[in-house]
Structure 1
Amino acid sequence: MKNNKRATINDVAKTAGVSITTVSRYVNGNYNKMSAKTRQKIQTAVKEADYHVNRQAQMLKRQNSHLIGVVVADVENFFSSLLFKGIDEILSQNAFQIILMNSNNSKAKEHQQIERLLELQVDGIILQPMGHRAAEYRFLKKQNVPTVIVDRRIEHAVWPEVVTDNYEYSKKLGELMLEMQYPQILVLSESVNENTARKERYSALNDLKKNHHFILGLIEVAENTSDHEIFDILKEKTHNFQIKTAVFAIKGPLLLRLMRILTQQHIIVPDQLGLSAFDDWEWAKLTHPLITAVQQDPKLIGSTAANVLLKEITENNFEQKLVTVKSELIVGHSL
């Protein structure tokens, strides 16, 4: 029996093996920088799918959609939940609806999610980027969609960015550890070079070495790194916990994981190992002993980003600026 379901632009994109945005450009006659081969593939796919452009819908979409796309790196992370809450509180007051997208820590999926938002012709995008170079987002820049970057900076910024002062607060935390006479500081992190927030936090401690004498070590964990492997590295770098050492967990979930490992191995904090962290969701306040940590405010980052985006949309006023949201250094009993 014949399928009477009307073909969509997504069907054409899948058949042609191109992005939805590329098909959209084709049907609107925008062939700039489109090869003849790509045009032929789309033309064939359009005929095969019997696809017809809904011009009435296009006219409607040229008006404000009152949709805002939010793309986060990991929707399961509490940082993302609080970031979203801050965004929603502002945008809902201004009659905007949010489309939340999860890149799942994948650059490829992030690209797909942004393409979907562009197809929906959202009025703006708030992006927690997986990439850290502006060149990786050239495809988005070309669309001239109001965009705000949150949490992680993009090198050679092209949009407004709303972030924590990762460097300055990490430096303050490092100075505190040195005041408490730790001869060794170990940074526990996922791949440092994967995003600018981690790089800034690590760089702050690395720069402290220029004027202070201490050992700085880095423990980078991957998705498949086991708790046993982390503990073995700690034992090795501390000479079985004989060297007075403070560990700086780069984010809250890593702090909780480390505390679980130390508890299982009967390591006493701070007697055998000092702990500190850059915290996302007040994890440190739920621990015993109270962890010394930089407490950032994801909700405030979200609401600030939403206000910046609203100004960009409603006033058609684009400013390539950096907005820094204050954090707080909480001194506990873990060092």
Structure 2
Amino acid sequence: MAKQYTTINDIAHAAGVSKTTVSRYLNGHFERMSEQTRQKIAQIIEETGYQANSQAQALSHRQSHLIGMVVADIENIFSSLLFKGADQVLAAADYSIMLMNANNSATLERRQLERLIKLRVDGVILQPSLMNADTYQLLADAQVPTIIVDRKVTPAKWPQVVTDNQGYSKLLVDYAARQGFQQVVVLSEAINANSARLERLAGMQAAAKEHDLTVHQVEITHDEPTGSIYAKLAQVPDWLNGRTVIYAFKGTLLTRLMETLAEFNVQIPKEVGVMAFDDWDWAKLMSSQITTIQQDPQQLGQVAAKNLLALLDHQEVPATTLVDSQIMVRKSL
């Protein structure tokens, strides 16, 4: 009876070629491969009845011990802390991590993912710029183990590690309503751009309906001038009445908001209340300490990395992992 070859290494040894050559053959990459080599590998596979395990084949490049991570905006401290958490876990497991910046561009994000695939990374941690999972089909086609972090994609093709944006947003607006605020001004970048903003909006709307609050939405860009931000806020009727709270949907927008209110001498909370989703402890250092939902981006990164390592070890990983946040009540309401 012929010897049964059960691994790529066995096939490579019998054919007198490298493991990489066999892997390329199994994946249909015959360029730069002689017809003689191709026929020899095919003959050995036929003689031995070798069948490639699809999971093992997808992970056959794991020897690189290199993980790719793509974040939406490296200038955002949230993304930096996300990376730090992932790197801590991966370094302890003897993996290196290659950080890629999408710079809030779907086009650049795709190029970065293509680069990682060409580098044959063992896996990818992705903070997605877009919500449509089909955008990231190249990861599925390349059979790259992937974890989605911070923002969701739809449908959920890969395990995701996220915050309960909707639940905590409702909690924050509930608290503001109990403090006597009657009007909420949502300050955000384009809300339809990612799942986190949509979920925060849904939580806010649920609380507003429950407490009969008036709601206004003000959309700005990340680099919008303070004068323009103030002009948009000023279009909200009677907004400096002491009963209006501005809800910034992320920490970088809170910074822009505080610059604007300071420049135009708006008093917090006497004239307007302020609260935000995202907090890296510096909100308590502002002259008017800001009430926030404090996420833990470092823990999000750690959990994402642990789940990816579990995938690489062929373990089951939850479809969705929620990482806890907390409300930080301060003096801005």
TM-score, with normalisation over the residues of structure 1?
A: 0.80
Cα 1:280–1:180, aligned 2, differ >3 Å: closer, same or farther? closer
In structure 2, the partner of 1:333 is 331
Deviations 1:292-317 (CA, angstroms, capped at 9, x unpaired): 10000000000111100001002x13
In structure 2, the partner of 1:317 is 315
After TM superposition, list the pairs within 5 Å mapping 1:262-281 onto structure 2: 262-281=261-280
C-alpha distance in 2 between matches for 1:153 and 1:97: 25
Cα 1:68–1:77, aligned 2, differ >3 Å: closer, same or farther? same
C-alpha distance in 2 between matches for 1:67 and 1:30: 22
In structure 1, the partner of 2:151 is 152
Cα 1:144–1:240, aligned 2, differ >3 Å: closer, same or farther? closer
Deviation at 1:320, TM superposition (A): 5.3
Instruction: Report the secondary structure of 1:211's partner residue.
Output: helix
Deviation at 1:319, TM superposition (A): 3.5
Instruction: Report the secondary structure of 1:284's partner residue.
Output: helix
Deviation at 1:152, TM superposition (A): 0.3
TM-score, with normalisation over the residues of structure 2?
A: 0.81
In structure 2, the partner of 1:134 is 133
Deviation at 1:216, TM superposition (A): 0.7
Deviation at 1:269, TM superposition (A): 0.3
What amino acid sits opposite 1:296 in the alignment?
Q
C-alpha distance in 2 between matches for 1:300 and 1:63: 25
C-alpha distance in 2 between matches for 1:27 and 1:104: 36
C-alpha distance in 2 between matches for 1:27 and 1:302: 34
Q: Which has the larger radius of gyration?
A: 2
Instruction: Report the secondary structure of 1:267's partner residue.
Output: coil
Asked whether the 8 Å contact 1:238–1:245 carries over to 2, the reply is no
After TM superposition, list the pairs within 5 Å mapping 1:217-232 onto structure 2: 217-223=216-222, 225-232=224-231
Which of 123-132 and 138-147 deviates more?
138-147
Asked whether the 8 Å contact 2:182–2:244 carries over to 1, the reply is yes
Cα 1:185–1:240, aligned 2, differ >3 Å: closer, same or farther? closer
2:181 aligned with 1:165, yes or no? no
C-alpha distance in 1 between matches for 2:191 and 2:300: 22
Deviation at 1:26, TM superposition (A): 11
Gap regions ≥5 residues in structure 1: 1-24, 32-45, 47-51, 56-60
2:56 aligned with 1:89, yes or no? no
Instruction: Report the secondary structure of 2:88's partner residue.
Output: helix
Cα 1:79–1:195, aligned 2, differ >3 Å: closer, same or farther? same
How many residues are paired up?
A: 287
Instruction: Report the secondary structure of 1:334's partner residue.
Output: coil
Gap regions ≥5 residues in structure 2: 1-23, 38-59
In structure 2, the partner of 1:234 is 233
Asked whether the 8 Å contact 1:162–1:323 carries over to 2, the reply is yes
In structure 2, the partner of 1:307 is 306
C-alpha distance in 2 between matches for 1:194 and 1:270: 30
Deviation at 1:219, TM superposition (A): 0.6
2:201 aligned with 1:202, yes or no? yes
Cα 1:212–1:62, aligned 2, differ >3 Å: closer, same or farther? closer
After TM superposition, list the pairs within 5 Å mapping 1:98-113 onto structure 2: 98-113=97-112
Aligned-pair identity in percent equals: 42
Asked whether the 8 Å contact 1:184–1:243 carries over to 2, the reply is no
Asked whether the 8 Å contact 1:72–1:127 carries over to 2, the reply is yes
Asked whether the 8 Å contact 1:238–1:244 carries over to 2, the reply is no
